[in-house]
Chain A
Amino acid sequence: MNEMVTLQINGEGYELSIAPKKTLLEVLREDIGLTGTKEVCDMGSCGACTVLLDGKPILSCLTLAVACKGKEITTIEGLKKGETLHPLQSSFIQRGAIQCGMCTPGMILSAKALLDEKPHPTEIEVRKAIAGNLCRCTGYVKIVEAILAVSRGE
């Protein structure tokens, strides 16, 4: 049986009728059309579906959408402010941290959660913060560099 739920996503309210079994990931991608959040393992082991729930990084593939009532959800589509990219988005582009792009949205959101909590992390803190986000292309080198560059205000 579907439930009526209002979800607050990237500052906008969405009123939806959804089955309780639907994960937040499925609702974002299929019901709302926000396909920037990626489905990779669907079992909580890769971090590609990371979104922010009240500013904290969570896995949308293991989160029931009905349980997100009243919480602020931030996806990769919500990072740009007007025409201005989030500093992490610019830094990932400028420092070559993008390859295939499947880990990118989750990676940027994990990094954002870190920098919001701790603006000047050490390299090991950066690595810990993204250690739940698998990447097969980059060896994480340029990703870590891009995050540290933002923390240094570059």
Chain B
Amino acid sequence: MRLPDFQYIEPKSLEEACLFLKEHNHESKIMAGGTDLLPNMKQGIFKPKYVVNLCAIQNLDRFEFDEDRGLWLGALVRLRYLETDPIIFERYPMISQAAGEVGSVQLRQMGTIGGNLCLDTRCYYYNQSDFWRKCRPMCIKMGGEKCNAMGKGKKCFAVLSGDLAPALIALGAKIKLLSTRGERTLLLSELYTGDGAKPLAMEPDEILVGVEVPAIPKEAFNVYLKYRIRRSIDFPLASVAVMLIIDRKKKICHEAKVVIGAVSTKPEELKEIKELLKGKKLEGSLIEEASDLAFKAAKPIANAGSSPSYRKRIIKVFVEKALKQGMGESI
């Protein structure tokens, strides 16, 4: 399939990019690695007048680590870098796990952290060619009236399938957005609207310039678990990111952040689990209770591989597995 025509813009600085986007915000698409944008464009989902490639902007792939301040990841840091960097591997293993599970080596070489966080939501009935979509009434995400996956309803359930978002939300990451109006900082969790049709709380002229990941105590435990059918290439069908600050000897949980991904329109931090576990001794029945909460919170529909009931189930299994691992049980 061929890409539709567009004009190619390669700004040399963030200022230049912001100015261009101010003028042409609704006609432009920002490109980083291109691995999500270009397939969608080939399928005719987007037909932007301008593709604004950020690749020539200096320092946008900057990576910094500081014991006190934590990590700074420029938007263009490649997923392959996150997967293989020894500091990340040691201090934030779940970031390298999540990055290492994306697509294939080639896609990780091309894909960026910024692009992965801004992934468009996906659905069997949306990520298809123009021809394919013509066989059915237009869906809500394409501007139509009805959700084709549900066969009814006004809400779009397209899934946010990024691997990095759940992990970084669990770590309390913030993002920096830039436009001619200035810079603003959001909690990463605030980036996601929960509306499958318009999943990102970003203005069309805003550029995600980077991610701040706070420092976490050395003894903190974090893990990312991904369910997919094959062991490569596939997007997640369910994922769980867990960050625990825990006294291993006493098994007392000081803080627990559990984020579930790929089962709905946004990654969801399960605050009820956080409250349930805070200050408590992490043991069998409590873990069971926490994983039941996760099971209830996950509400996938039949718009991706596997079955909704199984994806719910695997969320429970993963939460249980992650909490047990955090407790130091060998699984």
Interface of A with B (CB < 8 Å)?
1, 3, 19-23, 26, 42-45, 47, 50, 56-59, 62-64, 66-67, 110, 113, 128-129, 131-133
Contact = CB atoms under 8 A, between A and B. Distances in A.
Contacts of A67: 8, 10, 34, 53, 55
A21 B8 CA distance: 8
Nearest to B78: A56
Given A57-B105, A132-B103, A63 B4 contact: no
B202 interface: no
B104 interface: yes
Given A64-B8, A67-B53, A131-B232, A59 B3 contact: no
B6 A132 contact: no
A58 B6 contact: no
8 contacts: A3-B8, A20-B6, A43-B39, A44-B38, A44-B107, A64-B34, A67-B53, A131-B232
A123 B232 CA distance: 16
Contact of A132 (B2, B34, B106): B106
Nearest to A1: B7
B107 A21 contact: no
Interface string B43-81: 000000001010100000000000000000000000010
Contacts of B19: none
B295 to A, nearest CB: 31
Given A44-B39, A62-B34, A62-B35, A56 B55 contact: no
A21 B39 contact: no
Interface centre among A42, A45, A132, A133 (most CB of B within 10 A): A132
Interface string B100-115: 0001111101100000
A21 B53 contact: no
Nearest to B110: A58
Given A23-B3, A62-B34, A45 B105 contact: no
B106 A47 contact: yes
Given A42-B42, A43-B39, A59-B110, A66 B105 contact: no
Given A22-B3, A58-B106, A58-B109, 18 more contacts: A3-B8, A19-B5, A20-B8, A21-B6, A23-B3, A23-B38, A44-B38, A44-B39, A44-B103, A45-B233, A56-B80, A64-B34, A64-B51, A67-B8, A113-B105, A128-B232, A131-B104, A132-B103
A19 B232 CA distance: 33
Contact of B105 (A19, A20, A43, A128): A128
B231 interface: yes
B110 A132 contact: no
Nearest to A114: B105
Contacts of B55: 67
A18 to B, nearest CB: 10
B1 interface: yes
Given A131-B233, A132-B233, A57 B5 contact: no
A59 B106 contact: yes
Contacts of A132: 103-107, 232-233
Interface string B222-241: 00000000011100000000
A105 to B, nearest CB: 13
Contacts of B51: 20, 64
Nearest to B55: A67
A110 B80 CA distance: 14
Contacts of B10: 66-67
Nearest to B230: A131
Interface centre among A23, A42, A64 (most CB of B within 10 A): A64
A63 B34 contact: yes
A64 B51 CA distance: 11
A106 to B, nearest CB: 9
A44 B5 contact: no
Given A21-B6, A64-B8, A132-B232, A43 B42 contact: yes
B128 to A, nearest CB: 11
B2 A21 contact: yes
Given A3-B8, A131-B105, A42 B110 contact: no
B90 to A, nearest CB: 19
Nearest to B108: A132
A44 B10 CA distance: 23
Contacts of A57: 105-106, 109
Contact of B110 (A1, A43, A62): A62
